[in-house]
């Protein structure tokens, strides 16, 4: 409870100050509305929405111990969404209130230094100040509507607006029988965040199957934390079809490290249930091991490691163990959840040809248009989304199938990757 208060009190104070400062600017615009009932409704709407979000955070912090942990993730997601939808636009608007306050401060200094100005001149200046205030505040409202609409779209439609990204990669050492091999990669489902929205995921699975993959690779984070998140999902997720096979690995969230457990046995039981669910989906879960894939008389090696990430993320991955028994000259594919593993242990240190990773989600926010590729996550993970190459080695980072924390995606749609080998 004490830890919750340490987080809650500064947040509520910050929200209150944001509301007060926003109200300083918006009240003059509301006052200009013609109808009294409309002015009252807008005032109630402004403070009512803020009050509901305030209450939501308080109830969450007080009652979190009395809510199922898997459900707590969903409730927290709704709070994050509400905060983003209604407070990010306020941050934009108060910039214009601040600009106007700075203008008034400068005018006050000028006024103080010109005590001999005529009264009529001061009145005209006052009238101009009101016009400028209204213009700035109206501009602030217009620009604040951009993040409002963007976030609202992201939490309603954007998180299910799946896109297919295609890459054709040529290798000089790829066996002839594997040229044209079509690999579909998905990553980071985070099933608990979907809140049992089966219909939306059914459509995504249909889109995946339309790609007619030879291999399907799932690169970890099946759940947020708990095995119960997988309940009732097997009939839908098992519909994924691949001509040769379906393979998967674990991500950092699958180990249950982000929750308190009654005993080590309870945590181990949770992980065992998550591992078992991969089989229910029809996937071969690879735990620091490899498998040989053969077509005609030729073969390639598929390697799957457990999660390996830079601290504080767990390092269960054992690449040396996972590569045991592979023919030295084999063409090699690797599944490793965290892309930082590629730079740390794969690149230059091995002859693995192509690595598939996920983990970053593209931070579920960014810009990838008109030659611009940017997301805040790039300051943590330089290789955060798409295809990367160093010499003859490649890394592909999938931007994620699901979402966590913020229940939406803005400029960073969920992804189904299709890689064709050539």
Give tens-digit pLDDT for 355-379: 999 999 999 999 999 999 999 999 9
Give residue 64's pLDDT. Answer: 63
Split at pLDDT 50, 70, 90, the class of 314 is confident
Stated as kind and residue range, the H or E segment containing 145 is helix 119-156
Percent of the chain with pLDDT over 70: 93
CATH code, 163-421: 3.60.21.10
> What is the pTM (predicted TM-score) of this model?
0.90
Give residue 2's pLDDT. Answer: 44
Provide the residue ranges of all domains of the chain, joining segments of one domain with +: 2-156, 163-421
Give residue 194's pLDDT. Answer: 95
Give tens-digit pLDDT for 321-333: 999 999 989 999 9
- The position carrying tokens 């700075």 is 102
Give tens-digit pLDDT for 108-131: 888 877 765 554 444 544 444 446
Q: Whole-number mean pLDDT of the chain?
A: 92
Average pLDDT score over residue span 305-315 = 92
Give residue 144's pLDDT. Answer: 95
Question: How far is it, in rounded angstroms, from Cα 395 to Cα 90?
Answer: 40
Whether residue 359 contacts residue 341, with contact meaning beta carbons closer than 8 Å, is answered with: no
Give tens-digit pLDDT for 37-89: 999 999 999 999 999 999 998 888 776 655 567 777 888 889 999 999 999 99
Q: Region of 118 please: left (phi>0), alpha (psi -120 to 50) or beta.
A: beta
Give residue 117's pLDDT. Answer: 53
Give residue 174's pLDDT. Answer: 98
């Amino acid at each position: 409870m004490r830890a919750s208060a340490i987080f809650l009190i500064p947040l509520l104070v910050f929200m209150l100050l944001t509301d007060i400062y926003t109200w300083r600017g918006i009240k003059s615009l509301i006052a200009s509305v013609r109808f009294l009932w409309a002015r009252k409704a807008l005032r109630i709407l402004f403070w009512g929405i803020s009050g509901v979000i305030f209450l939501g955070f308080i109830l969450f912090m007080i009652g979190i111990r009395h809510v199922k942990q898997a459900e707590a993730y969903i409730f927290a997601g709704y709070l994050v969404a509400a905060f983003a939808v209604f407070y990010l636009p306020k941050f934009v608007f108060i910039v214009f209130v601040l600009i106007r306050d700075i203008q008034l401060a400068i005018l006050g200094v000028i006024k103080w230094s010109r005590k001999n100005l005529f009264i009529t001149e001061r009145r005209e200046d006052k009238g101009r100040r009101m016009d400028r205030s209204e213009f700035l505040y109206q501009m602030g409202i217009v620009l604040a509507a951009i993040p409002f609409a963007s976030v609202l779209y992201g939490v309603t439609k954007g998180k299910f607006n799946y896109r297919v990204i295609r890459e054709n990669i040529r290798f000089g050492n790829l066996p002839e029988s594997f040229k044209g091999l079509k690999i579909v990669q998905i990553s980071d489902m985070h099933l608990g965040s979907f809140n049992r929205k089966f219909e939306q995921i059914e459509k995504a699975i249909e889109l995946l199957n339309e790609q007619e993959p030879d291999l399907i690779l799932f690169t970890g984070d099946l759940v947020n934390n708990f095995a119960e998140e997988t309940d009732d999902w097997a009939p839908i997720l098992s519909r994924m079809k691949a001509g040769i096979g379906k393979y998967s690995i674990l991500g950092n969230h699958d180990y249950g490290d982000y929750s308190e457990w009654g005993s080590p046995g309870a945590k181990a039981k949770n992980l065992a249930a998550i591992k078992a669910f991969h089989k229910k989906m029809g996937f071969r879960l690879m735990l620091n091991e490899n498998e040989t894939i053969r077509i005609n008389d030729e073969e390639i090696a598929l390697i799957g490691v457990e999660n390996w990430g830079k601290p504080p993320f767990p390092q269960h991955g054992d690449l040396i163990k996972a590569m045991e028994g592979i023919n030295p000259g084999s063409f090699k594919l690797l599944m490793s959840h965290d892309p930082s593993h590629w730079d740390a242990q794969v690149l230059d240190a091995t002859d693995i040809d192509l690595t598939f990773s996920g983990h970053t989600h593209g931070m579920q926010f960014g810009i990838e248009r008109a030659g611009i590729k940017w997301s805040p996550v790039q300051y943590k993970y330089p290789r955060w989304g798409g295809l990367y190459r160093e010499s003859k080695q490649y890394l592909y980072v999938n931007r994620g199938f699901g979402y966590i924390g913020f229940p939406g995606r803005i400029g960073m749609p969920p992804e189904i990757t299709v890689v064709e080998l050539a």
